[in-house]
A and B are shown apart, each in its own frame.
Chain A
Amino acid sequence: MSGTFTKAMARNIFYGGTVFFFLLLVALTFDTMSGLPKSDNRANLTPSVLAGKHIWETRNCIGCHTLLGEGAYFAPELGNVYPRRGPEFIKAWIKSQPTGAPGRRQMPQFNLTEQELDDLVAFLKYTSEINTQKWPPNIEG
C-alpha cells in the first residue's frame, strides 16, 4: 500500500462503507418484509400450524432433518415431505419410530398425541406451500 493511502482514509472508508451497506441491508429487509405476504403463505398460519411449529421446535427436529434446506443433513428434507409422502404416511411413520433395524439410523419415539401429530402435519403442509422459488429441484428434497 502506497504512502498516499493513509490510515485515516482507510478508517473513513471502513465506517462509511459499513454504515452504507448496513443501511442497504436494512432497506432490503424492509422491502422483503413488505413483499413477504405474497410468498410466505401467511394466509394459512392457523393455530394448528403454530402449535405444529412448537412441536417441531421442542422435539429438536432440526437436529437431524433439514427444513427448506437448513438444519442437519442426517435425515431427509422435510420442507416438501407433505407432497412427497402425504399426511397419513407422515403420522404413521412418526408413530412407528424407532425402527430398531440394526445398524440403521434411528429416529426417537416422541409419544405425540393424535392432536400433536395433526398439528405437526399442518405445520409441514403450510411449510410445503411457501414459495421457495421452486426449490428443492425434485420431490426427493
Chain B
Amino acid sequence: MKYSSQSVALPYFIAAIGLFVGQIIFGLAMGLQYVVGDFLFPEIPFNVARMVHTNLLIVWLLFGFMGAAYFLIPEETETELYSPKLALLMFWVFLIAGAATILGYLLVPYSTLAEMTGNNILATMGREFLEQPLLTKIGIVIVALAFLFNISMTMLKGRKTVISIVLLLGLWGLAVFFLFSFYNPGNLVKDKFYWWWVVHLWVEGVWELIMAAMLAFVLIKVTGVDREVIEKWLYVIITLALVTGLIGTGHHYFWIGTPQYWQWWGSIFSALEPIPFFAMTVFAFNMVNRRRREHPNKAAVLWALGTGVMAFLGAGVWGFLHTLAPVNFYTHGSQITAAHGHMAFYGAYVLVVLTIISYAMPLLRGRAANSERSQVCEMWAFWLMTISMVFITLFLTAAGILQVWLQRVSDTPMPFMQVQDQIALFYWMRLWAGVVFSIGLVTYLVSFFVKGESKPLITA
C-alpha cells in the first residue's frame, strides 16, 4: 500500500465478502425450493429469496467496485484520496441502507414495504433487480454521487492515467444509467424498454469498463508489463465492448412489443458481443506470458486469468448460445437464460472483484503477498467455486434444453409445471453443484485466516 488513504478499501472488501456469503445462502435455499417447492414456505417464499439473492449480488459487487476504486485511484493518480472520511461515512450509509432493505424484504410483506417507503408517491418497485424501495434507490444515488465526487476530486488533483479515466467513465455511467430505474411508465412496453437501459447498459456496457480497468490495473501490477501496452489493450477492449454492447441492447427487444427490426439489430450486434470478452482473455494470458517479474501473489494471477476465461465462457459463449432471434424465440425466459446469467455474472463480475481483493487484501494487511499455505487455500477456493459454477451452468443448460423442447418445440407442448417435474433431476444436480460452490466459498473465507510466513512488503 503506497498511500494511507487506500486503507478505506478494506471495509468495502470485507462487506463485499460478507454479503457474498449471504447471497450464496439464499441461492442454496432457492436451489432447494426448485425441487422441494414448499421449503421455507410461507416464511421465505421463492420471490423473497430471489430478491435477496440478486440484490445482495448487485450490492456486494458495488461494494467491490467502490473498494477497488478507493484502492486503485490513489495509486494511479499518485495522490491521497480527496476525503477518506467521506468514503468511510458512505461505507456505513450504504451498508446500513443495504441491510435495512434486505431486512425489509425478509420481515415485511412486500406490498406493506412498498406502502411504508413511498412507492405510492413514485412507483418504482416490483421490477426485476430494481425491487428496492424508493428510499433505498434515493440512498443509492446519494452514495453514488458522494463516491463519484470523492473519486473525481482525487483525480483532478493527481496524475490522469488511462486506467483511472476508464474506471471513472464506467462509474459515472453506472450512476447515470441507474437514474432510469426511477422511470416506470404505466405502458408495459416502455417500462420494459427503459428497464434495460439500467440492466443491459450496466452489465453489457459501463460495468465492462469498470471490469476492464480493474483487470488492467492488476495485470500491470502482477506482470510488470509496460503501461503503454496494457493501456492500448484496454482501449481496444472497451471499444469492442461498447460498439457491440450498445446496440446489442436490441437482443432484449425481440418479444416485448417493440418493432420487428430489433431482431436484426439485436442479433447482429449481440453476436459480436463475445469479441470483447475474447479479447480480454487473450489480453490476460498475453500479459502474463510477457511478464517481467514473478509476482509473489500467485493467487491474484490465477483469479485474473480466471476472469478472462470465465467471462468469455459465461458472457461470451453462453450469451451467444441464445442471442440470435430465431433461437431466442424458443429459449427466451427459460432455464437457458438462468444458465447464462449465473456463469456470466460469476465469470465477469464476481471474479474481477475477487481478483482485486486477492491483489489488494495482502497489501492492505501490510504484506506483499500471503503465505504459501494461504495462497494454496485461496487457489483451492478458486477451483472449487469455478468448476462448480461450470457444472451449475451445464446442469441448467441441460434443464433448459429439455424445458424448451417439452414446452415449446414439441408437437404436443406440455404445461410449465409438468415440464418442471420432468427436469427435476437437473435441478437436483444443480443444487449439489451449488453445495460444492459453497464449500469453495468457505475455503475462500478460511484462506484469510491461514497463517504462515508471508512475503514482507517492500516499498519501492
**Residues in chain A within 8 A of chain B (CB atoms):** 1, 5-7, 10-11, 13-14, 17-18, 21-22, 24-25, 28-29, 31-33, 35-36, 39-42, 45, 49-50, 53-54, 56-64, 66-77, 98, 100-108, 110, 126-127, 130-133, 135-141
What distance in Å separates the Cβ of B269 from its nearest Cβ neighbour in chain A? 9
Assess whether A63 is in contact with B231, with CB atoms less than 8 Å apart. no
Q: List, in ascending order, chain A residues with CB within 8 A of B188's CB.
A: 40, 53, 67-68, 126-127, 130
Of B187, B265, B338, B413, which one neighbours A40 at CB under 8 angstroms? B187
Determine if A22 and B246 form an interchain contact, defined as CB atoms under 8 angstroms apart. Answer: yes
User: Nearest Cβ distance between residue A82 and chain B, in whole angstroms?
Assistant: 13
Is B232 touching A5 in the complex (CB atoms < 8 A)? yes
CB nearest neighbor in B for A105: B37
**Chain A CB within 8 A of B398 CB:** no
Contact of B235 with A by CB under 8 A: yes
With A14-B239, A42-B187, A58-B126 known as contacts, the answer to whether A77 contacts B416 (CB < 8 A) is: yes
A56 contacts B126, CB within 8 Å? yes
B interface size (C-beta, 8 A): 76
Instruction: Write the chain A residue with the least CB distance to B334.
Output: A73
- Count CB-based A-B contacts (< 8 Å): 223
B169 to chain A, nearest CB (A): 9
Q: Are A69 and B255 in contact (CB under 8 A)?
A: yes
Contacts of A50 in B (CB 8 A): 186
The interface bits of chain B over 360-393 (1 if a CB of A lies within 8 angstroms of the residue's CB, else 0) are: 0000000000000000000000000000000000
A35-B329 Cα distance, complex, nearest whole Å: 22
Q: Which residues of B contact A7 (CB under 8 A)?
A: 162, 228, 231-232, 235
Q: How far is the CB of B57 from chain A (nearest CB, A)?
A: 14
Known: A11-B235, A60-B51, A135-B329. A32 touches B110 (CB 8 A): no
Choice from B128, B249, B253 contacting A62 with Cβ under 8 Å: B128
Most buried by A among B38, B127, B188: B188
The complex places the Cα of A139 from the Cα of B243 at a distance, in Å, of 37
Task: Give the dominant DSSP class at B's interface.
Answer: helix
Contact A39 B189 (CB under 8 A): yes
Choose one: A18, A58, A73; the contact of B125 (CB below 8 Å).
A58
Contact A13 B125 (CB under 8 A): no
- Which single residue of chain B is at the shortest CB-CB distance from A59? B111
Chain A residues in 8 Å Cβ range of B239: 10, 13-14, 17-18
Query: Which residues on B sit within 8 Å (CB–CB) of A42?
Result: 187
Q: Is the CB of B408 within 8 A of A137?
A: yes
When the two chains form their complex, are residues B41 and A140 in contact, meaning their CB atoms are under 8 A apart?
Answer: no
Residues of A close to B409: CB separation below 8 A: 137
